[in-house]
Structure 1
Amino acid sequence: MGIRSRVSGGTTGISVLTVASLGAGIWLIATGAQTTAPPQPSTAQAFGARAVAPHGAGAGAGDAAAPLPAARPLRVTVPAAGIDAPLTALRLDAHGTLQAPPVRPGNLAGWYRGGTAPGARGTALIAGHVDTDEGPAAFHDLGSLKKRSTVEVRRADGRTAVFSVDAVEVYRGDDFPDAKVYGPSRRAELRLITCGGGFDGQRHAYRGNVVVFAHLTGSG
């Protein structure tokens, strides 16, 4: 299941974006979804009714670090979710859809090179498969993340951008909040995205997407 919307963004940010399918689900049918379904975030990990909207004013705004100069990201690491994935650049196809990372190797994620580089000012996007026809993929356990978990992005300039998770939310494909996820930011923010929301065995597709919201807190 992908995100169904249109592209309307530039090099400094993403406002509305369509992402190609980030999960196959074939192996769920073959092995049984009861034991192999990817974890989904609880409501406790969402922003909550009292939380201020993201984009520079969300949870943890007080510890936000100054944005870094733009640099190509090489690898994303999320220890709490067992993620350690090399990054490839993702582009838009002729229909304005962000291409998904290749399904092989399975431990591969991608960053939207037409948007913000992770660590720079704005909203950066990293997408990864939850599974392939061979089994769990790079972002299979993304939905298990909790607030204040750490995300690290190693960059080509030798620095590592360190982010803190503000929230982890799941959205149905027909109710995806484009502005909330992709809107411009006054600080350096990051979105990690994959398929989620449960698997529809009849349609052979995930019902929505898991999105991790994070902001830059430091660099190494």
Structure 2
Amino acid sequence: MTRVGLDAAGALRTPPPDKPGYAGWYGDGTPPGSAGTAIAAGHVDTPDGDPGVFYDLGALTEGATIEISRTDRRTAVFTVRAVELYERKEFPSKKVYGSSGRPELRLITCGGGYTKRTGYLGNVVVYATLTAVT
């Protein structure tokens, strides 16, 4: 994981393309496992087509677990509630980034169709809820 922020337009940045194995946690937001919605974004693949950190993200299913090592040396364990694909034009920002007040996680990557001119046409979003801290 590496810390990421927002670009000039207010969109969530991703890790640099030369670090396809890194997921980017939104550093000005909720830390994973704390009350609120923690956000992490990562690449599905590289410009050369090599797999990125979230290459298999769309294959996760309800009930799968995600473990995130925290800076306090504890592990936040999240259980997947849903995996959804959105067209870029219809991305539900409030649903994805909004907080329910309980510890949640959203993992975001590119997905859907692809064209050389515009890149990926959508985003895969995983919704997960904290179920344990070890």
Alignment TM class, shorter chain as reference: over 0.9
User: Which of these residues, 161, 175, 194, is aligned with residue 109 of structure 2?
Assistant: 194
Residue 120 of structure 1 aligns to which amino acid in structure 2?
Answer: S
User: 2:30 matched to 1:116?
Assistant: yes
Residue 141 of structure 1 aligns to which amino acid in structure 2?
Answer: D
Count of aligned positions: 133
Q: Relative to total residues, which structure has the larger helix share, 1 or 2?
A: 1
Q: TM-score, normalised by structure 1?
A: 0.58
| CA shift for structure 1 position 97 | 2.5
Residue by residue, what CA displacement relative to the aligned partner does 1:53-86 show, whole Å, maximum 9, x if unpaired? xxxxxxxxxxxxxxxxxxxxxxxxxxxxxxxxxx
User: Which of these residues, 144, 151, 166, is aligned with residue 81 of structure 2?
Assistant: 166
Residue 163 of structure 1 aligns to which amino acid in structure 2?
Answer: F
1:151 is aligned to 66
**Structure of greater Rg:** 1
User: Which of these residues, 42, 56, 61, is aligned with residue 141 of structure 1?
Assistant: 56
Flag structure 2 segments of 5+ consecutive residues without an equivalent: none
| CA shift for structure 1 position 186 | 2.0
What RMSD over aligned residues (CA atoms) do the two structures have, in Å? 1.1
User: Which of these residues, 18, 23, 31, is aligned with residue 104 of structure 1?
Assistant: 18
Q: Relative to total residues, which structure has the larger strand share, 1 or 2?
A: 2
Q: Identity over the aligned pairs, expressed in percent?
A: 55
| CA shift for structure 1 position 111 | 0.3
Q: TM-score, normalised by structure 2?
A: 0.94
Residue by residue, what CA displacement relative to the aligned partner does 1:127-165 show, whole Å, maximum 9, x if unpaired? 000111231111111000000000001011010000000
Equivalences for residues 1-220 of structure 1 within 5 A = 87-134=1-48, 135-201=50-116, 203-220=117-134
Moved more, 117-126 or 88-97: 88-97
| CA shift for structure 1 position 98 | 2.1
Larger RCO of the pair (alpha carbons < 8 Å, separation 6+): 1
Counterparts of 2:59 and 2:3, CA distance in 1:
25
Counterparts of 2:10 and 2:19, CA distance in 1:
25
